[in-house]
Chains A and B, each alone.
Chain A
Amino acid sequence: MSWFLSWISGAILYAAPILFPTLGEAVEQRAGMVNLGLEGLMLLGASLGFAVSFGTKNPWLGVLAAAGAGLLANLIYAWLVVHRRAHQLAAGLALMFFGIGMSALIGKPYVGQMAPVLPKYAPTGPQSLLFRYDPLVYVAFLLAPLFWFLLFRTRFGLRLRAVGENPAIAYAAGVSPSLIRYIAAALAGTLAAVGGAHLSLGITGTWSEGMTAGRGFIAIALVIFSRWNPLRAIVGALIFGGAVVLQLQLQARGIGVSPFFLDMLPYVLTVLVLLVWGRGVRHVAPASLGRVYFGTE
């Protein structure tokens, strides 16, 4: 039983840094934009957050700086795809490489350094020692229902989804697709960078180049897996976090499962989901996803 609890506790911790970018990408894709640059945004957040925490001795300022940088960087992406009408996949990849390079540049002096990390808190209760997390973990899991509410229960969410389905009609209904897409991109950039900062300031307390190790891409897979629904994204992130922790715990118990196989799991799940739901009568993917909106004027 204690084994099960420690697995759950680990799954929650490792779900958090992936849940942030997944939620952001879900919102962004609901607004009709595929952003392949998450990995770069996460890295940017991880390195800048660490650098600022190192410089100011305050991890919260680090998280804040990461959020701001992610927001700005993703606004560049939004500007490219909304105003410059660039191809979304190309713009996303450019953003990714920008983030990788920029994060390495920012992080260079901080390799092998120590910075103040986020404090850990536990809910009171018998298992409180096991479920001690930094506040960003709680934030991640609170944001999921909040984003679900935002997308599916508010006027803004309706407009955002309308832009993702058909920007021309949304425009005709008096919604500005550009504005909506900028807002969605700002949210997504912020969240992805905070997810990265959680890796460097919450989980590991270090910066190392490329430390996101593909989590930005797993997040994109999880968006499809969760069918653009923030609540299902929790499930996806927990499966991913659980797989990471499970394989290490199994190894520590002498049960050999290839780490490479389990690393593959989120992608296998995504492919399965696409197989099962992909041929459905009504595809849930936003109809205008990835399309350039040329305006209605």
Chain B
Amino acid sequence: MKRAVLGLVVLVFGLVAAAEPCLIVGMIIGGTKDDAGYNQSQYEALMALKEKMPCVEILFAENVPAGEAEAVLESMILQGAKLLFPAGFAYMFPALNVAKRHPDVIFMHPGGYMLADNFGTYFSNVQFAYYLLGVAAGLMTKTNKLGFIGGMPTAFVLGNCNAFHLGARAVNPNVTTYFVVTGAWVDRAKEVAAAQALIQQGCDVIGSHLDSPIALAQTCCEAGVFYVGYPSLAVQKFCPEYWITGLGLSWGDFFVEVAQQVLAGTWKPEHVRRGLEAGFITLGEFGPKVPEEVKKVVLEFKEKLVSGELQPFAGPIRDQEGNVRIPEGTAWGPLDMGKFDWLAEGVVGSPK
């Protein structure tokens, strides 16, 4: 509603008018493209597509509220778009409505659970990669107290917190992780307050699952505690000194793959979920204060994760009450990540 007032800023990065584009690709995002977070990662993937396939024409709109998504998508189709990325979870149903009206246009939606003949989904296996941030945090902490700030207590957030904690415990069994929810994906003032509360608690490494942890990074720098970044590597510039490492959503190559499939007519609707091994998510550079031994261990874990030798969610894993949630001999895979409604043993905080 708020953003409706601003109006829509539709930027058309057109080719020279004479050149006929091989494919017109459209994207809408809910925030701004420079948020050093989720929206920026979507936009960067689109730009990577443009760079690798110069014949593609890009249509792009930011700050699109879910209520206006249908209208914007329709206007992109009017301009000839044949591949659309409604790049926000909230666009799932609006985009599906538009997809029904335009069976000749392909839709790719991030993180959703709906499929149609011309509607597929994509996302990264974030939780598995987040385990690596935990490993790094477990090695870097002096107080053995880690903090984790979530926007909302959703399954994916709880999964990331659990992965962070389990990764840390794998290298440092004494670690306790303190989990705090702000109640909003973006509320910078509360993010600062949450970080301060965790720092006062003694936490000296902080992980997060927010739209963009810019304010958190700055708070860490001020207090002199470490942090790991997600979902965009761009956040490290806000506090390079105390940056350990981070994860960036990276879909550029996949967007190229999809565009080529659409052009070749081989595209199929499916839930595409890939991880580090496919470049769907990228482990960032290490910060200046990270010792060589730590880097080495983290990269070893990464190798095992990529090869499939390491299963971060292999049982037995207990929850806070000590109940076995993942029994011995079984392991949760990418499709189980929506099932987290609990926090692992050793995490302090409420999953509700």
Contact = CB atoms under 8 A, between A and B. Distances in A.
Interface of A: 3, 6, 10, 14, 17, 97, 100-101, 104-105, 108, 111-114, 199, 203-206, 208-211, 213, 244-245, 248-249, 251-254, 256, 258-260, 263
Contacts of A210: 2, 186
Interface stretch (B128-136, B195-203, B296-304): B195-203
B352 A211 contact: no
Contacts of B190: 213, 244, 248
Interface stretch (B32-40, B67-75, B321-329): B32-40
A113 B198 CA distance: 25
Contacts of A104: 2-3, 5-6, 63
Contact of B238 (A114, A209, A213, A244): A114
Contact of B32 (A3, A17, A209): A209
A113 B349 CA distance: 32
A204 B35 CA distance: 14
5 contacts: A17-B189, A100-B2, A100-B6, A104-B2, A206-B188
A204 B3 CA distance: 22
A254 B178 contact: yes
Contacts of A199: 188-189
Given A206-B214, A253-B178, A263-B183, 11 more contacts: A100-B5, A111-B32, A203-B192, A204-B218, A205-B218, A209-B3, A244-B190, A245-B197, A248-B182, A248-B197, A251-B179
A213 B187 contact: yes
B181 A251 contact: yes
B6 A105 contact: yes
Contacts of A251: 178-181, 194, 197, 349-350
Chain A to chain B: the 8 pairs with minimum beta-carbon distance, closest first: A256-B350, A259-B183, A254-B348, A101-B5, A204-B188, A112-B34, A112-B36, A204-B215
A213 B189 CA distance: 9
Given A112-B34, A210-B186, A14 B63 contact: no
Contacts of A258: 352
A260 B181 CA distance: 10
B252 interface: no
B80 interface: no
A112 B41 CA distance: 13
Contacts, number: 128
Contacts of A245: 193, 196-197
A260 B191 CA distance: 15
A14 B191 CA distance: 12
A83 to B, nearest CB: 25
B147 interface: yes
Contacts of B40: 112
B184 interface: yes
B233 interface: no
A35 B344 CA distance: 48
B31 interface: yes
A208 B349 contact: no
B35 A208 contact: yes
Nearest to B202: A252
